[in-house]
Amino acid sequence: MALQYSKMIPLGSEAANFDLKGIDENTYSLKDFADKKILVIIFMCNHCPYVQKMWDDLVKLSNDFSEAQFVGINSNANPNYPEDSFEKMKEYAAERKMVFPYLYDETQEVARAYSAQCTPDIYVFNSERKLVYRGAFEGVLPAIEALQKNEPVPGNQVHSMGCSIKWQI
C-alpha cells in the first residue's frame, strides 16, 4: 500500500463525462444523474483499508441525502490487484449493502480525467456540475448540507489520503 494524497484540482472545474459499466451490468454516464442537485463521485476500490474504514459511512450518507447522488468508481483495473476485479466489486458492494452505483473504470481514463490520485478521492459537484469540494471524507457532509441550503460550501478543504491508484503500465 503506497500512501498518496489527492490532487487539489481547482474549485469550479466541470465534471468530466464518463461511460462506465456498473456492478448491476448497466452503463452509466454523467447525464444519468442530471436530475440530482448534488453529485458526489468517490474514486474507491475494494482492498484499500482507507476506503474500507469509511465504506459504511458512505453508504449511510448516501441513504440520508436523497438530493445527493453518490457514485463510486473503481479505477484499480490492474491484474496485480485481483481484490479490485469487477466480480469482487459485486461481492464487496453486496456485503456493505451499497445502494449507489459502483462503476468500473477499466481503461482508467475517467480517473485521469478527474486527476484522481488515491482511494478514496472524493469530488462534490453542484447542480451545474461545477466542483465545490474535493478532498477528505470529513468535508463531504458540510458540502452537501451547504448545497442543500443554497449556501457557499465551507472553504476549509483538506487533501484526501489513501492508497495510490494502481495504474496500468
Instruction: Identify whether 169 is part of a domain.
Output: no
| CB contact at 8 A, 42 and 121 | yes
Instruction: Identify whether 26 is part of a domain.
Output: yes
Percent of the chain, pLDDT > 90? Answer: 86
Please report, for the domain that includes residue 88, its CATH number: 3.40.30.10
Dig out the grid coordinates for 37 from the structure.
442537485
Instruction: Kindly report which listed range (66-70, 102-106, 134-138, 157-161) carries the lowest average pLDDT score.
Output: 157-161
pLDDT at residue 3 greater than cutoff 80: no
Q: 126: domain range?
A: 3-164
Contacts of residue 86, defined as CB under 8 A and 6 or more positions apart, other chains included, come to 21, 23, 104, 106
Instruction: Identify whether 99 is part of a domain.
Output: yes
The Cβ of residue 158 has, within 10 Å, a number of other Cβ atoms equal to 14
| CB contact at 8 A, 116 and 167 | no
What mean pLDDT is reported for the chain? 94
Instruction: Identify whether 120 is part of a domain.
Output: yes
> Three-state DSSP class for 82?
helix
Instruction: Identify whether 135 is part of a domain.
Output: yes
Determine the pLDDT at residue 80. Answer: 86
Instruction: Identify whether 129 is part of a domain.
Output: yes
Strand partners, 68: 38
Instruction: Identify whether 28 is part of a domain.
Output: yes
**Number of domain units in the chain:** 1
For the stretch 24-46, pLDDT in tens is 999 999 999 999 999 999 999 99
pTM of the model: 0.95
**What does the radius of gyration of the chain's CA atoms come to, in whole angstroms?**
15
Instruction: Kindly report which listed range (36-40, 61-65, 105-109, 156-160) carries the lowest average pLDDT score.
Output: 156-160
Instruction: Identify whether 109 is part of a domain.
Output: yes
For residue 1, name the pLDDT band (cuts at 50, 70, 90): low
For the stretch 59-103, pLDDT in tens is 999 999 999 999 999 999 878 889 999 999 999 999 999 999 999
